[in-house]
Amino acid sequence: MELTTISQVSRMFGVSTRMLRHYEQLGLLPSLKKDEYAYRAYDERSIARLQQIIVLRKLRIPLKQIGAIFAGADSALETALEVFMQNVKEIEGEITALSTMRTILNSFIDELRRASGISLKTVLLSDKAMVSALNSLSLTKINFKEQRSMDDLNKASAALQKLRIVRIVQLPPFTVASYHFVGKDPEATVGDVVAKIIKDIKLYEIKPDARMFGFNRPNPSPDREHHGYEDWVTIPDDMDVPAPLVKKRFPGGLYAVHAIKFGDFHEWGDLAKWVQGSDKYEPNYPPEGEEIMNGGLEEHLNWVYANHLGWPEEWLDGCMDLYLPVKLKKA
């Protein structure tokens, strides 16, 4: 049986190794561990499953619904039909809303062309029905246009991934308890160690506003067997931390911030493109570059609070903020 390593699969499909491990943790993508491989490997069946996942994700099917399709061995077709119908219904609502927006915008264009001397405010408020229609719109997504080929699907998926909301945030200086690990599944290893310690010391009771950040150190690379991950948890400045945690001082800085669902790490690339295309901000990457993820941070929202209360991971709904360091462009 021919096996493909996790690094090879990552390069073949343009999916991060972290994403592949996340799919496995959710029970979506089985992997194999053979004596001759020091890390995960995939057979033809797993690769076929990954292709299915990629197509469904590009169709904007949530991972939870993908899991339901794969889990329904005896009713997979019925489950898939139900999931697809539900998503079509949502898309139809988006198409209707965007069609309304297009009609209104075209009306504005026609009105402005007919009466170039009329102020824009007059045009916008001239039709009460139009204003009412605008107020009734509640859009949170972009519609997925009908596509038939994989090439068209890829193009449509890329178009839909353009970031619509990026915040600019000034992080203040703060003190952190840090833990770093390089090896197999570094994110999980680091998270487990930090979670246990902050629960043991009752950090939430000491610092209710404590926050948790993480970043690759170093980044995954074909040149190395394992990458690393480092977690930071904010603590009071005068607090001593137990081993193996290390106390550090973060100087603060300006960041472009984008919210994602856990697992959508491909949006790091979208955030970088947003910064590179900005007319106001530019990257402010540290000299270490890729070794510390270009200074990027991943904030696991509500993580300290949820750990204190013993929440199951799924209660957090997998929300994260991605932080990329920026600075103002010189005039």
Q: What is the 3-state secondary structure (H, E, C) of the chain?
A: CCCEEHHHHHHHHCCCHHHHHHHHHCCCCCCECCCCCCCCEECHHHHHHHHHHHHHHHCCCCHHHHHHHHHCCCCHHHHHHHHHHHHHHHHHHHHHHHHHHHHHHHHHHHHHHHCCCCCHHHHHCCCHHHHHHHHHCCCCCCCCCCCCCHHHHHHHHHHHCCCCCCEEEEECCEEEEEEEEECCCHHHHHHHHHHHHHHHCCHHHHCCCCCEEEEECCCCCCCCCCCEEEEEEEECCCCCCCCCCEEEEECCEEEEEEEEECCCCCHHHHHHHHHHCCCCEEECCCCCHHHHHHHCEEEECCHHHHHHHCCCHHHHCCEEEEEEEEEECCC
Residue 279's pLDDT is 92
Residue 292's pLDDT is 85
What is the CB neighbour count within 10 angstroms for residue 85? Answer: 9
Residue 128's pLDDT is 58
Residue 163's pLDDT is 61
What is the CB neighbour count within 10 angstroms for residue 125? Answer: 11
Burial tier of 47 (Cβ tally within 10 Å: 0-12, 13-18, 19+) = middle
Mean pLDDT of the chain: 82
**Residue listed under structure tokens 């902050």:** 198
The pTM score is 0.71
Greater pLDDT, 116 or 56: 56
Confidence of residue 250 (pLDDT cuts 50, 70, 90): very high
Please determine, looking at this structure, whether the domain spanning 167-328 carries the CATH number 2.60.40.10: no
Q: Do domains 4-58 and 167-328 have the same CATH topology?
A: no
**Mean pLDDT in residue range 260-268:** 82
Confidence of residue 313 (pLDDT cuts 50, 70, 90): low
> In the chain, where are the structural domains located?
4-58, 76-160, 167-328
d(CA 42, CA 210): 39
* Mean pLDDT lowest among 22-36, 50-64, 77-91: 22-36
pLDDT at 140 over 70: no
pLDDT at 174 over 90: yes
pLDDT at 148 over 50: no
Greater pLDDT, 17 or 279: 279
CB 279 within 8 A of CB 328: no
Residue 8's pLDDT is 82
Highest mean pLDDT (candidates 19-23, 106-110, 115-119, 131-135): 19-23
Residue 329's pLDDT is 93
What single-letter amino acid sits at 187? E
d(CA 206, CA 244): 20
Pick the CATH number of 4-58 from 1.10.1660.10, 3.50.50.60, 1.10.540.10, 1.10.3210.50: 1.10.1660.10
Confidence of residue 314 (pLDDT cuts 50, 70, 90): low
Pairing of strands 319-328, 297-300: antiparallel
pLDDT at 63 over 80: yes
CB 5 within 8 A of CB 40: yes
* Mean pLDDT lowest among 150-159, 227-236, 255-264: 150-159
* Mean pLDDT lowest among 12-21, 67-76, 122-131, 277-286: 122-131
Sign for the CA dihedral angle at 50, 51, 53, 57 comes to positive
* Mean pLDDT lowest among 27-41, 144-158, 234-248, 276-290: 144-158
Residue 90's pLDDT is 86
pLDDT at 321 over 70: yes
